[in-house]
Structure 1
Amino acid sequence: MYRFLLTPRWLALHVLVLVLIPSFLLLGRWQFGRYEERSAASDVATGNLAAPTVPLTSIDKPGAEVPPSLKFRSVTATGRYDPAHELVVRRRTQNSRPGYFVLTPLVMADGTAVVVNRGWVKIGPTADSPPEVPPPPAGEVSVTGRLRPAETEDSTGINDRSGLPARQVLLINTPNLARTMPYRLFGGYVELTEQRPGTAPAPDPVPPPDLGGGGGLNLAYSVQWWLFIGIAVGGWVLLIRREAHDLQAERRSAPGTDAVPAPGH
């Protein structure tokens, strides 16, 4: 009755199911791996955001690389802003509006400096015209903010390029920025949350990071892929049973299947 399973059509279906099962298994495992990575990163970020504020110099130094374990750690620094070397970062959207981030070096007493992202400003009249940027406070300033690692093409998905208007960049890549400034830059940059004294007007503060639920969506996707395995196997079995049932029904209804009694019996 089940010889039909060896026909070309059914052999193709068997191969398809055998390909789908490991494919769904691997896709689910990949999504679960992404969930584990994002969940761990979210836990680290949440812990850093809640941790006590520390001096920048205690966890970062000029020319260093900020590890992911320190991302979003609250830090403080004191110095004087250098508006002469201020930059703006193109293509930064905030509250669904296109604009720029404002980067102003904060020069410390020892001559080293840290790049401070003072916040967001709207775009100018044209794509190449400079935006209106409120000036930083003069004199000595104490800043508090979230420590961020230098941006790269890999970490942001933004392709860096040259030929931009003066004092505009696409990435907050501190090693690259250090080549254009007359002092040694700290490895990370500070996303401003508070400064004393303050100024008005000022760039719009960068909102706290959206941690994305710790990868919960990836966990849902992994479960979904694994459920597809059950659907594929269940559908395969259901089709086999249906085909066998249909063949049995055809045989019962075919002419001459019922035995004819012999004469005299």
Structure 2
Amino acid sequence: MYRFLLSRRWLITLLIALLLIPATIRLGFWQLHRHEARVDRNELIAQALTAGPVPFDTLSTAPGFAVPKDLTWRPVTATGQYDPAHEFVVRKRTDSSGDKIGYFVVTPLVLADGGGTVLVNRGWVPSASSAAEYPTVPAAPAGQVTLTGRLRADEAASGSVKDRAGLPDRQFTLISSTQQAKESGAALLGGYLELTATEPAAPADQPELLPEPNHSDIGPHMAYAIQWWLFTAMIPVGFAVMARREAKDRRKEAAEAEGPAVAVPA
């Protein structure tokens, strides 16, 4: 009764099942690797955040310096004076809750020791009434200040982020020391500082400081991996159930075709 498995329809079904099994196994391992990468990233961030702060210019040593992953989020300090003339905002950024769209305020800090200039992300401000208008930005503290923050790498353009062309004056889509060095001609150290504290203390009306990155969420990737592997196990089981049901239906149809037995008179 299982000779129907040699039919074209069932051979195609079997072929699809055989192709799905390695595909779903591979998808499961893909999600597992994403889980492992997320865990490694969280551990790297946690280690960086708990390290002692060091001067910014001891890590970012030159213009165009590419901040490596193991230094990203590292606490850093910088002493100097803000350069408000070259301040700019970065569009389409959310506040700490992630609910409101606004701008990051980025102000260069000229280092006191003459070691160059550092971009400082001073925090978030809400959008203006019009996207073409420059938002209301609290003035950066005057005089010499000592800042503490997190070392960040330059943001790189992606397929969804376009260059500055067409944007209003002093509005950008990325925080990039390389881009700003071309705009201002200043010797900007690579990367930037994400502000967490100012000494002397800044006025209360300063931009909203950014929170630490979430390094405890491991995401759903492990659950997705298990789901794919469960689906892998279900493929042969499902094929067997379908074949068994088909055989049962064929036996029933054959029995009905024979009809009831007719009694022969003696």
TM-score strictly above 0.5: yes
Who is 2:125 aligned against? 121
Who is 1:3 aligned against? 3
Distance in 2 of aligned mates of 1:69 and 1:102: 25
- Of 145, 152, 167, 1:148 maps to 152
Q: Is the 8 A contact 1:62 1:187 kept in 2?
A: yes
Distance in 1 of aligned mates of 2:74 and 2:131: 34
Moved more, 252-261 or 93-102: 252-261
Distance in 2 of aligned mates of 1:55 and 1:246: 78
- Structure 2 unaligned spans of 5+: none
- Of 248, 251, 254, 2:251 maps to 248
Distance in 1 of aligned mates of 2:62 and 2:244: 70
In structure 2, give the amino acid aligned to 1:52.
G
Distance in 1 of aligned mates of 2:28 and 2:163: 33
Distance in 1 of aligned mates of 2:177 and 2:165: 16
Alpha-carbon RMSD across the aligned residues, in angstroms, is 2.1
Distance in 2 of aligned mates of 1:208 and 1:258: 82
Deviations 1:41-66 (A, max 9, x none): 11101111112112212222222110
- Of 233, 236, 241, 1:233 maps to 236
Q: Is the 8 A contact 2:4 2:10 kept in 1?
A: yes
Shift of 1:112: 0.4
In structure 2, give the amino acid aligned to 1:148.
R
Distance in 2 of aligned mates of 1:257 and 1:17: 39
Distance in 2 of aligned mates of 1:232 and 1:39: 30
Distance in 1 of aligned mates of 2:110 and 2:247: 81
In structure 1, give the amino acid aligned to 2:144.
E
Distance in 2 of aligned mates of 1:258 and 1:21: 47
Who is 1:202 aligned against? 206
Q: Does 1:53 align with 2:53?
A: yes
Q: Is the 8 A contact 2:57 2:115 kept in 1?
A: no
Q: Once the two structures are aligned, what percentage of the paired residues are identical?
A: 44
Q: Is the 8 A contact 1:136 1:199 kept in 2?
A: no
**Aligned residue pairs, count:** 261
Shift of 1:211: 3.2
Deviations 1:133-163 (A, max 9, x none): 0001111100000111000024x95333412
In structure 2, give the amino acid aligned to 1:91.
K
**TM-score relative to the length of structure 1:** 0.91
Q: Is the 8 A contact 2:153 2:192 kept in 1?
A: yes
Distance in 2 of aligned mates of 1:28 and 1:90: 37
Runs of 4+ in 1 over 3 A off after TM superposition: 249-254, 256-261
- Structure 1 unaligned spans of 5+: none
Who is 1:106 aligned against? 109
Distance in 2 of aligned mates of 1:188 and 1:235: 54
Distance in 2 of aligned mates of 1:260 and 1:233: 45
**TM-score relative to the length of structure 2:** 0.91
- Map of 1:1-265 to 2, 5 A cutoff? 1-63=1-63, 64-94=65-95, 95=97, 96-109=99-112, 110-154=114-158, 157-197=160-200, 198-211=202-215, 213-214=217-218, 216-255=219-258
